[in-house]
Structure 1
Amino acid sequence: MDRRAFLRAAGLAGAGTVFAGCSSTGTTTPGGQPTTTLPLPPTTTTVIVPPPPPNWESLRARISGTLLLPGEKDFDTARQVYNPLTDTRKPVAIARCETPEDVQACVALAAESKVPIAARSGGHSYAGYSIPESGLQVDLSEMKAITVRPDGTVRIGAGARLTDVYTELAKAGKCLPAGSCPTVGIAGLTLGGGIGVLSRKFGLTCDRLDAASVVTADSRIVEASASAGADLFWALRGGGGGNFGIVTEFVFGTVPAPALTVFTMRFPAGSTTDVLGAWQQWIGTTPPELWSNIIVVGGAQAPSCEVSGCFVGSPGELNGLLAGLKVRPSSRVVQAKEYLDGMRFFAGSSQRQSFVASSRMLPGPVDPAKITRVMTGRPGLDLLVDALGGAVADLAPSDTAFPHRKAFASAQIYMKTDAAGAARATTQVGEVRDALTEFTGATGYVNYIDPTMPDWATAYYGANLPRLQQIAKSVDPNRVFAFPQAIPQSAS
């Protein structure tokens, strides 16, 4: 018997006992006082009315874009994102939106019918959260207009991808610090912070954000900036995609597109400990114009490594800086690049790729010998350590929602795999992530979101978590935008 049924039964039993020995006339208590029979209080029953089922045909008629349902042409292709390991996730509908009003209609339907909803821009969510299981996927890929304005700002639709952003900016002689993979969406990148190869010189992508248009859980379009909706604007700069609404458009400030010099250095087998130790000492002495990373490649025996980077300046200046790295490479390539070609140098493949990944944020240099031991016997697993500092650290951790302003570097643990090897890869990645905890504590980069990350809310948001919780509760009290690693709302 549940608690409600028990209380009801107990209440009725008590009433029956009282009234069995009493009547409304001529009844007295043992002390001789007359009694009055009181009527039973009305019994109340809570009736939970289920939400109405989503009316997909009504939504189809309301939007200017396209609605796809299971079994319809292109549905199975449209739901796929970058990582094929997420192909098992299946939405119940995909709305290819073309206008902010289309997005409003989608959010209104999801809120009314309690259907999970998630936006998709580039589709690089590491955990596949842009494919809401049994929910409505809001595909923003058609909302991709990019307009560079006379004042040097750029208006970018939330569906734009980095390859198009860089191309249009280069035509206008402008630069926006952003990521490297060409098919990454500007929306997810910005909302999680936006680490890239120009971060040390020009800051994170979110640091260049001037304003954003957001469809909130009540299906209103809200303009968020430093002067309007300041709390929401703060949260959008590093608070993670999918937590506060669906952004339909961004306005960024730009800088003049710089000439760049890129470089790659490879090192002989067995030198990883020496190279990592030297690189950590060296990068901390270089100016913010230089960004660099070191990739430690796991091996069946000892790991190997390579160092790459990007410099805002000439090859001659860069060569002078590289001389300070006190290890000798087995090969070195240094090339001058125009801005667009420099971005393409780091682009990598745009093809779909199966992988498992996680991250940590390094507060300072780590023991290189321990890293070598951790990466030994792990063929196929890469540890990518990207230098931070410079302009990233110019802001305080609380100035935006991105909390890792004072980190020395980010560390991404990445392993290519297929479906058959995914469980093993998840274990391997988790072991390296947990080994790094000795140096990092509970930290991580939300744009490398990991479903198995311990204490993930603290790892991704640090001391900014309580404020983010309050903002999430304020703008989405009914958790329309809930997903497994959505910001947990505070109890207060």
Structure 2
Amino acid sequence: MARDPLFHASGTGAGARGSPRTGGHTAVVGDTVDWDGLRRRMSGTLLRPGDAGFDNARKLFNPLNDDRVPAAVAQCASVADVREAVLAAARRVPVAARSGGHSYVGYSAPPGGLTLDLRRLSAVRVRPDGAATVGAGATLENVYTALGQANRCLPGGSCFTVGIAGVALGGGIGVLQRKFGLTCDHLVSAEVVTADGRTLTASATREPDLFWALRGGGGGNFGAVTEFTFATDPAPALTVFALGFPASAGNVTKVLTGWQPWITAAPRALWANLNMAGGTTPSCRVAGCFVGPSSACNTLLNDLVARAGVLPTQRRVEDRGYFKAMRFFSGSPDRQSFVASSRVLATPTTGPAAVVALLTGRPGMALILDALGGAVADVGVQQTAFPHRKAFATAQIYASATTASEAAVTRSVGQVVAGLADLGIKDGYVNYIDPALPDWGTAYYGPNLDRLRRVAYAYDPDRVFDFPQAVTRA
């Protein structure tokens, strides 16, 4: 999450590093790219190893991915730059787009390949009708700032340094989803550079199969999106809140037991997550956002406390405008080293004590449940590529790590994930991508996998946009 474990991550493609130094480096076909020619044709900048600025340009958010070194970084200043870069590198070296650089396993920095750095394509324009055109390199902070100034809102993730592209292409869970739906539900059209260098506009009426796939099919599978157009809503008055509970395994179990029916019964104006922190003595917090005044929110929070039977030791409830509410969830912008994974709860867990037991004795570990429901479930499972419409919640498993501790932390995350699987919690969210997830194609896409494969082959038959967990490899 850039990365405050009080709240929830909103990465561009994330997950546990299945084992140290893994994540599946894509094999280089053969570097016969005319880099000098590409540099001359670009209006932006092409950086190669040894060039000033290359080392900073290639690095992603998670320092554990610093060993992934591309052959070049194309800092694209225009759609024409993207097209030239794709055509120059296609079928010669791996190609991947980078927006915010939050891919947990570093897929946007293909070793020996070409990173399409889209961060210069970050303009956000809000039209009088409320529609917003957003460059694919824009961060959530860019988007929320521009929309806040126009008194509009778009549901999205929490981390301000995450790119809008990864969020939207994977579905886009966030703090307003129960009221307004996923980010991808607001997508009107997308401009895409395909593997053969064409620039297409995908919408409900133009390239409809591609448009369907871009709403939840995951980043990096179908081409390089350069611009989005989103429908937005009037910015509402919001209440943000955070409740901290006294630490103990018993208290965390009680809060989880009470939180599940509470959020299930809550009005869709309310979103909340439950962050359970591991250690010798586990602890937990509930944080969230309510579309409405704090007076109404406090009544709902009192109900949570009554259901849990545990009095909070900390309680923070504040009325905020849209941008300041999003800032409340934003966390630190600094690079952070971590190992993470995800699962999806189809229904509330019937074993709260067993879930809490997975965290006991694991300091630095967090298990974060983010509530789905509400407007997310209003859309059919196969109406977009995002399949988890009827699920109860997503689960993040997140642990701080260093290069020295990565192997041990990865094993610990894997043990928690395996424990959740034993409890019947098996599916995953593609934006928290995990190379160790069994049958990951089905886990991420469910009944939409076959159609996604067909779309990927139709628009990229030569697998130019290939990586270890590309749809075509599922």
TM-score w.r.t. length of structure 2: 0.91
Q: Deviations over 1:37-70 (max 9, x none)?
A: xxxxxxxxxxxxx978110010001110000011
Q: Equivalent residue for 2:465?
A: 481
Q: Equivalent residue for 2:180?
A: 202
Question: Does residue 1:212 correspond to 2:190, yes or no?
Answer: yes
C-alpha distance in structure 1 between counterparts of 2:212 and 2:418, whole Å: 30
Q: Deviations over 1:373-410 (max 9, x none)?
A: 11101110000100000000001110100000011000
Q: Equivalent residue for 1:275?
A: 255
User: CA distance change for structure 1 residues 378 and 217 in 2, over 3 Å: closer, same or farther?
Assistant: same
C-alpha distance in structure 1 between counterparts of 2:184 and 2:190, whole Å: 11
Q: Equivalent residue for 2:160?
A: 182
C-alpha distance in structure 1 between counterparts of 2:268 and 2:299, whole Å: 15
User: CA distance change for structure 1 residues 489 and 130 in 2, over 3 Å: closer, same or farther?
Assistant: closer
Q: Equivalent residue for 1:426?
A: 410
Q: Equivalent residue for 2:389?
A: 405
Q: Equivalent residue for 1:91?
A: 70
C-alpha distance in structure 1 between counterparts of 2:31 and 2:263, whole Å: 58
Q: Equivalent residue for 2:290?
A: 311
C-alpha distance in structure 2 between counterparts of 1:481 and 1:206, whole Å: 21
Q: In the TM superposition, what is the alpha-carbon distance from 1:142 to its structure 2 partner?
A: 0.3
Name the amino acid aligned to 1:379: P
- 1:155 maps to which of 117, 133, 136: 133
Residues 402, 461 of structure 1: 8 Å contact kept:
yes
Q: Equivalent residue for 1:390?
A: 374
Residues 214, 247 of structure 1: 8 Å contact kept:
yes
Q: Equivalent residue for 2:81?
A: 102
- 2:301 maps to which of 322, 338, 345: 322
Q: Equivalent residue for 1:54?
A: 33
Tell me, what secondary structure is at the counterpart of 1:239? coil
1:433-448 alignment runs, 5 A limit: 433-448=417-432
Tell me, what secondary structure is at the counterpart of 2:419? helix
Residues 217, 476 of structure 1: 8 Å contact kept:
yes
Structure with greater contact order relative to length (CA < 8 Å, sep ≥ 6)? 2
Q: Deviations over 1:232-253 (max 9, x none)?
A: 0000000000000000000000
Structure whose alpha-carbon radius of gyration is higher: 1
Q: In the TM superposition, what is the alpha-carbon distance from 1:281 to its structure 2 partner?
A: 1.4
C-alpha distance in structure 2 between counterparts of 1:72 and 1:266, whole Å: 48
Q: Equivalent residue for 1:119?
A: 97
C-alpha distance in structure 2 between counterparts of 1:477 and 1:408, whole Å: 36
- The number of aligned residues is 439
C-alpha distance in structure 1 between counterparts of 2:96 and 2:241, whole Å: 39
Question: Does residue 1:414 correspond to 2:398, yes or no?
Answer: yes
Residues 361, 440 of structure 1: 8 Å contact kept:
no
Name the amino acid aligned to 2:35: W
Tell me, what secondary structure is at the counterpart of 1:419? coil
Q: In the TM superposition, what is the alpha-carbon distance from 1:438 to its structure 2 partner?
A: 3.1
Question: Does residue 1:362 correspond to 2:341, yes or no?
Answer: no
TM-score w.r.t. length of structure 1: 0.88
C-alpha distance in structure 1 between counterparts of 2:80 and 2:460, whole Å: 19
C-alpha distance in structure 1 between counterparts of 2:158 and 2:356, whole Å: 26
Q: In the TM superposition, what is the alpha-carbon distance from 1:458 to its structure 2 partner?
A: 1.1
User: CA distance change for structure 1 residues 386 and 70 in 2, over 3 Å: closer, same or farther?
Assistant: same
Which sections of structure 1, spanning at least 5 residues, go unmatched?
1-49
C-alpha distance in structure 2 between counterparts of 1:407 and 1:432, whole Å: 20
Q: In the TM superposition, what is the alpha-carbon distance from 1:150 to its structure 2 partner?
A: 1.2
Tell me, what secondary structure is at the counterpart of 2:189? strand
Deviates further, 178-187 or 329-338: 329-338
- 1:292 maps to which of 251, 256, 272: 272
